A and B are shown apart, each in its own frame.
Chain A
Amino acid sequence: METAAYNKGNKPLMTISRKLGLVAGLSLLAFSGGAFADTVRVTIAEYSKGTGPYFEEAAKAFEAANPDTKIQIEVVPWDSLQQKLTTDISAGANADLSIIGTRWLLDYVKEGIIAPLDENITPDFKARFIDTFLTPSVMDGKVYGLPIAASARAMYYNKDIFAKAGIDTPPATWADFKTSAEKIKALGTETYGFGLQGKEIETDVYFYYGLWANGGEIVKDGKSGLDSKAAIDTAKLYKSFIDGGLTQPGVTSYSREDVQNLFKQGKVATVITAPFLSGQIKTEAPNLNYGVAPIPAGPDGGKGTYGVTDSIVLFENSKNKEAAWKFLDFLFTTEQRTKFDKIEGFLPVNAEEAKDPYFADNADLKVFTSLLPDARFAPVIPGWEDIAQTTSGAIQKIYLGQGEIESTLKEAAAKINETLK
């Protein structure tokens, strides 16, 4: 979810022969691993350098308390997680537990690959969670995953640049934001008011911030909201930022990481992104004087931030469901959650954990948590990745000035409606 988004050496369609090799290798493992009564294999997405060590340590602590169970952690880079799971599942060689993007969950549940957790979930257990974060992984009234990582988006702004341009407060509305960006441009220092992402994963999400503010929806009543007035207004708004020289030039060559880097270098005055940027700034640009503010609101006061959770799920074909559940129970204790979220810079999902002074007294995180009531999650619909791709393509065309705004959005909406059918 929140790692460097460019791929490092992903291989094209893994050939069947390699899959075979994998199966052979794993069956060997199965023979050699018989010393313990239960071995629970867990596939973990690597969010940062700290992820692997954290889970190894948690596994050790769990094994010490449950000597019959062995936990085997497999760490996979986030970018190749989907590919690994797809390949493992088609070969029947998947782990017992795995982290997955909650937005993929529907596809998995539809195929009956994931086991519902309801019979294990006691009211006490459920009460541990902040509700907002548990709901995205509930489908047909059943809980299919637990939120292992949670995050939301807010606007980081460079206080020094704003002060230089004579602005004291972060922009409350998009109209304010544009005025501020114009003042920043007037400084003539090649700094840009709006750091706008136009490339790779989540290009569409950057567009939704404005869409929500204008009162639009990604999908409404089973139809794409991309041809709505709100979407057209948003596209015009963003385009006016681009054409006015208020964003960094060449937005379509900047991925989210690239825009964040521009922010760290002080070349853009704002960037909309997740809490983990605070941590990066602390180590990479400790002198940057920044603040965190809500994403600007629309003319009618509309707001919205993007909420993201990753879920940890239990596979239907697991032979150690009971031991696996015990490990889940352990991972979601307040102590373990606090440790993990501090390492990764995620938002607390656990109500007790949120009271920990680390989260409660942190000025940056407070802004993020205050936005949660307005948080929207990726809609739970089949073909979400398709829709994201179509949306990104359409708005890239608009950013580049290669398509007339209304017709480009209408065309994309028609394509999305086709996918939604």
Chain B
Amino acid sequence: MQRASVPYFLILPSFLLTAAIILWPLKEIVSLSLHDVNRFGMLKDFIGLEHYRSLFANPDFIAATWRTLFWTAAVVIGTLIVSVPIALILNEDFYGRGIARILIMLPWAISLTMTAIVWRWALNGESGMLNSALRDLGIIDTNIQWLAEASTAFPMQILIGILVSVPFTVTIFLGGLSSVPEDLYEAAATEGAGRWDQFRLITLPLLKPFINIAFVLNTIYVFNSFPIIWATTQGGPANSTDILVTYLYKTAFRMGRLGEAAAVSLIMFAILIVFTILYVRLAMREEKQ
């Protein structure tokens, strides 16, 4: 009896610390979302689920939710598709590999906000680098106003998202690749497996757990990622590039509707939790098989 309680006793300090850091704010946000709250966070009347009801009746919020899911899926899947070949190439032994690795990792060293602001300049219609490069190459005759409409702005934002997520993902994959024993390939080669078969039957299965980790972590980061969209369009024009985080920020700090903003953040939290649990379960079931 006493022995059984010792582990719980030992983790108690860390549990309390975690609770203070995570659970207590969570409780506060839940209570914000259920009250009429003024701009300064003072609670007024208890109004139950009214904030949630008005959110779900708001077409801008619904559109932002779908857009967030699309944004997350596009950036995460795009990143994985780009990162696997990059990691494979960087894992080969070739002259100048060190430099190539540094080049791929470099964007990671720059703060995301700075990257996004540089892109805002690059995408400027009249004086942006991208337009002048495309004009010099003879690809376009007239300037494209990249950030004027969602139809051009949002794809560019997704591309920027992929660009900044690649270094982290490649790092994970390189770690994974270095743990694949070299003799597996040698054995496969002597059995007559080509490079594609080697990749499909050896590399990919062994890389699977790393892809899973990259997938879950990237999903969480990208879903919550604020700087790219904020710095380039602030969710505009006319809310057409808003994702949930930018919507949340505007609701809280522009309009001062903290209660509604708290509700948005809880909805985001719920989406992420459900998604993560589902994914982890799927991945574990596969592993057992």
Contacts and interface: CB of A to CB of B under 8 A. Distances in A.
B212 interface: no
B221 to A, nearest CB: 13
A10 B248 CA distance: 12
Interface string A384-397: 01100100111011
Nearest to A267: B126
Contacts of A283: none
A24 to B, nearest CB: 13
A385 B252 CA distance: 11
Interface residues of B, number: 51
A252 B148 contact: yes
B237 A252 contact: yes
B117 to A, nearest CB: 7
Interface string A317-352: 000000000000000000000000000000000000
A358 B55 CA distance: 53
A385 B261 CA distance: 15
Interface stretch (B22-30, B96-104, B157-165, B279-287): B22-30
A90 B227 CA distance: 25
B interface: dominant SS: loop
Contacts of B250: 389
B255 A396 contact: no
A86 B40 contact: yes
- Among B28, B142, B224, B237, the most chain A Cβ lie within 10 Å of the Cβ of B237
Contacts of B111: 9
Interface stretch (B133-141, B166-174, B176-184, B228-236): B228-236
Nearest to A200: B234
B200 interface: no
Contacts of A249: 125, 142-143, 145, 148
A303 interface: no
B238 interface: yes
Contacts of A392: 236, 238
B276 interface: no
B147 interface: yes
B39 A107 contact: yes
Interface string A237-253: 00000000000111111
A396 B146 CA distance: 15
A370 interface: no
Interface of B: 21, 24-25, 28-29, 38-42, 111, 113, 117, 120, 123-127, 142-143, 145-149, 153, 224, 226-227, 230-231, 233-234, 236-239, 245, 248-250, 252-256, 258, 261-262, 265
Given A383-B255, A385-B255, 10 more contacts: A9-B227, A12-B265, A16-B24, A16-B28, A89-B41, A107-B39, A111-B38, A249-B125, A251-B148, A261-B127
